[in-house]
Homo-oligomer: A and B are copies of this chain.
Amino acid sequence: MKHAQELRIIPLQFEKEIQPGDSLVREVVSALRRTKTAFRPCDILVVKHKIVSKLEGQIVDLAKIEPSRSSQKWAQQYGLDARVIELALTQGRRIVRRKCGVLITETRHGFVCANSGVDVSNVDGGRHALLLPDNPDRSAARLHRDLKKHLNLLIPVIITDTFGRPWREGLTEVAIGIAGMKALHDYRGCRDPHGYPLRASVDAVADQLACAAGLVCGKLNRVPACIIRGFAYEPGRGTARDLIRPARTDLFR
């Protein structure tokens, strides 16, 4: 029987706003130093996608967006910003639902979320919108590699966004980019303590880690990242694509 160990979630408070071209590793290491600890071999770094998008310049001047007639009409009906709707439509590859003032799309990456992940909060007060990173797995891999160079440690990296969900109220964090660990833990083939085979037991550990991080990375404080210490992750070439259900097994397309 495996013994469970305590988990710690250590918030990383940044001193300044991230700017395009900043060194994220340097910010992370200096934030961690202020908490009077250093990286340890079993740590996982979880980062909100917003600072990654800012760093990578995934930012759009809303003044330059010309919304279509249909975006204008729909935005007006629900008191929304037509430019954000227009941008969301260009960032999606499929509209999943457009109803009651909510636009759910499938992004180029395959994520199903509101407004293709286009966000105006926590940017600069409404003039610019932030897009998802172009390739969040690649962004995670870059940070993973930079941490290795800097610290000589293999620290898995998870990049998160905040998604809504069908049937349930409220938003939760999900993993949209992963490097250095598996996204899913597969218990199929294992048996429970009574010897009963576990059938439907694949845990979305990267999403659960994202949620745990969401408890310390708030919207109103400047904590865009945290360390999760003590989780027995499965090392390997993880990808956020493993968390996207393929069309053929998706009951809700």
Q: Which of B8, B99, B245, B249 contacts A6 (CB 8 A)?
A: B8
**Interface size of A by Cβ–Cβ distance < 8 Å?**
80
Q: Is the CB of B202 within 8 A of A169?
A: yes
Q: Is A152 among interface residues, defined by CB-CB distance under 8 A?
A: no
Q: Is the CB of A171 within 8 A of B203?
A: yes
For residue A209, which residues in chain B have a CB less than 8 angstroms away from its CB?
215
For residue A211, which residues in chain B have a CB less than 8 angstroms away from its CB?
172, 207-208, 211-212
> Would you list which residues of chain A between 182 and 207 have a CB under 8 Å from chain B?
183-184, 187, 190, 192-196, 198-205, 207
Known A112-B167, A204-B172: A215·B212 in contact at CB below 8 Å: yes
Q: Which of B1, B166, B194, B216 contacts A251 (CB 8 A)?
A: B166
Q: Is A165 among interface residues, defined by CB-CB distance under 8 A?
A: yes
Q: Which of B102, B218, B251 contacts A4 (CB 8 A)?
A: B218
For residue A8, which residues in chain B have a CB less than 8 angstroms away from its CB?
6-9
Q: Which of B9, B123, B172 contacts A9 (CB 8 A)?
A: B9
Most chain B beta-carbon neighbours within 10 Å: one of A123, A169, A219, A251:
A169
For residue A121, which residues in chain B have a CB less than 8 angstroms away from its CB?
192, 196, 198-199, 201
Q: List 14 A-B contacts (CB under 8 A).
A: A1-B220, A2-B220, A6-B9, A7-B8, A112-B168, A121-B196, A124-B196, A169-B184, A170-B183, A170-B202, A171-B203, A201-B219, A205-B215, A208-B212
